[in-house]
Amino acid sequence: MAKEIERKFLVSGDAWRGGSPGTRIRQGYLSRQAERTVRVRSAGGKGTLTIKGKSQGATRDEYEYEIPASDADELLDRLCERPLVEKTRYLVPYGGLTWEIDVFEGDNRGLVVAEVELEDERQAVPLPPWILREVTQEARYFNSNLARHPFKTW
């Protein structure tokens, strides 16, 4: 069974910028139930379909499949719930880990979140100086919830 172990943090300032050109991402949801989400994503000319189970701490089941980019675009335009989540993702190395910095756009403009994937929930994570605070357990920061309750409405 595929597992995702991920911690999520709010970002402060722009000190993390500089290395990565960033990849524009559009994503939408076919299902956003608490027990499972089904996400469609278009990023960097590729499409993915991802099925995620309910989070248990920082861990959850995750199955991800590449799909044709044209299928992803059609699903996003025709079948995914609104609004879509739009963001630019930057990959930033720090402390031997790769941090994914998401700068949100559209209805979530102003929100910047860093995620780091781990091998084990107990793995030590050296925090970069641009980390504000951890939000791993705060459901409102889940992308599926940002689609339903965008940052601009908080």
Residues with catalytic annotation?
Answer: 29
Taking the C-alpha atoms of residue 71 and residue 12, their distance in angstroms, rounded to an integer, is 36
CA 119, 122, 125, 130 dihedral sign is: positive
- In whole angstroms, give the CA distance from residue 87 to residue 23: 8
Q: Are strands 97-104 and 85-94 parallel, antiparallel or unpaired?
A: antiparallel
Give yes or no for a contact between 8 and 136, defined as CB atoms under 8 angstroms apart.
Answer: yes
Among left, alpha and beta (phi > 0; psi -120 to 50; other), residue 131 is beta
Are residues 105 and 120 in contact, defined by beta-carbon separation less than 8 angstroms? Answer: no
